[in-house]
Amino acid sequence: MTFMKVGIDLLHFATSDYFLGLDTFAKEKGTDVNKYFVGIGQEKMSIAPPDEDVVTLSAKATTPILEQIDKNEITAILFATETAVDQSKSAGVFLHGLLGLSKHCRVIELKHACYAGAAGLQMATSMVRANPKEKILVIAADIARYDVDTSGEATQGCGAVAMLITESPRVIEIEPGSGYFTDDVMDFWRPNHRSTALVDGKYSTKVYLNSLKEAWSHFQQQTGKVFEDIDYFCYHIPFTKMAEKAHKTLVKKVGKKFSEEQHDTQTLPSQLYNRIVGNSYSASLFVGFISLLDHVQPSLENKRVSFFSYGSGCVAEFFTGIIQKGYEKVLMTQSHKQQIEQRQELDYPTYLKFYHQTDYSLENLELPKINKGKFRLSAIENYKRIYTANNS
């Protein structure tokens, strides 16, 4: 049986205009900086100013894709986030309005911790397989926030990835068949009244690794593929040391003996952006994939890449894709690198000011203009979010 090729045709990611260095963080906390640089494998974390949220981040991620296609052809937006802006209205509908997409377009928000982006991608591929005319925008966007002075504080960050899912994709074909695993556990959660997540940190890393082993076994049963069939491995990356641990766990499970060099070749390129952006929850697996695409030389053409998505709570999935011929021509590497390089460094007091400045539960609120992106959250009026273009 031959399958139609379906997958990611274009993809682009965005982060905020500001970051906090973990060297600054270590100094403030009186901790050895190597706990962060080496122990958890993070150097910087992108920090969202008060007028940035998942809607403005996703608009920044999507705009360069729309410049290359007829935006009226988009048939659906699947918006994955665990930092939603409203309990009822989908963040994707705010995005749809800002970007002026066709009214003949369906929009829905998806949630399960960091897993929802992968769920959106899999749903979109099924929709396109059922109807090849569909062109679906999958958005994965999150702002990772923990309480100040908790162990999670060093693993914050933010980002959004926009992916256009079509038939005959130019970047990667997502292969049919995947392995998945669900278990009702409390390793990380955010009750409705809280703006920051609660986490049982050490337990969460154990559940992550167990979910990887379970999803991998199921993947093998479902697809018959073996470890050697995969060239590069992308993992959900809350911090890069987690991806390191994940790959070592998988290598051990399949009974391999690996040199450090082989290990680095298979996983390191997918960690480079995440190391300096931080956790972006549902987006972070795909920021890792973009990092792989932007950094591996020579070409990745025809290589098989695996994706392991993990959402605390927990749901996990392992699946693969094949990089398409000529994919380099449609990458937006320059834009990714420029955005990261142009971020402005914050000192610790300014980071705290960003953190504490805003009470989004107020009926009316004016937000200071700090976000330099195309759109910003400018106010809340009668509990309604007001977004404005930055040039208006």
Residues that bind ligand CAA (CB under 6 A): 32, 34-35, 38-40, 114, 151-152, 154-155, 188, 199, 201-202, 204-205, 208, 236, 238-239, 242, 279, 281, 310, 312
DSSP labels, 252-287: HHTT----HHHHHHHHGGGGHHHHHHB--GGGHHHH
**Shorter beta-carbon distance to ligand CAA: residue 34 or 262:** 34
| Residue in 105, 109, 114, 134 annotated catalytic | 114
Interatomic CA distance for residues 6 and 52, integer angstroms: 33
Residue 43 appears among annotated catalytic residues: no
Q: How far apart are CA 312 and CA 182, in angstroms?
A: 10
To ligand CAA, the closest distance from the beta carbon of 284 in angstroms equals: 7
Are residues 164 and 61 in contact, defined by beta-carbon separation less than 8 angstroms?
no
- Our CB check for ligand CAA shows the closer of 135 and 241 to be 241
* Active-site annotation holds for 301: no
State which residue has the least CB distance to ligand CAA: 39
CA angle 219, 225, 226 (to 5 degrees): 100
Instruction: Name the minimum Å distance from CB 6 to ligand CAA.
Output: 27
Q: Output 251 or 300, the one with its CB closest to ligand CAA.
A: 251
Q: Which entry of 236, 244, 247, 314 is annotated as an active-site residue?
A: 236
Nearer to ligand CAA, 39 or 64 (CB): 39
3-state secondary structure of 118: helix
To the query of whether residue 114 is one of the catalytic residues in this protein, the response is yes
Instruction: Tell me how far, at minimum, the Cβ of 32 lies from ligand CAA, in Å.
Output: 4
Catalytic residue among 12, 52, 82, 105: 82
DSSP letters, 282-345, are GGHHHHHHHHHHHH--S--TT-EEEEEEEETTTEEEEEEEEEPTTGGGG--HHHHHHHHHTPEE
Distance CA 146, CA 159 (A): 16
CB of 243 to ligand CAA, least distance (A): 10
Residue closer to ligand CAA (CB basis): 77 or 199: 199
Contact 285, 54 (CB under 8 A): no
Q: How far is the CB of 34 from ligand CAA (least distance, A)?
A: 3
Known catalytic residues are 82, 114, 236
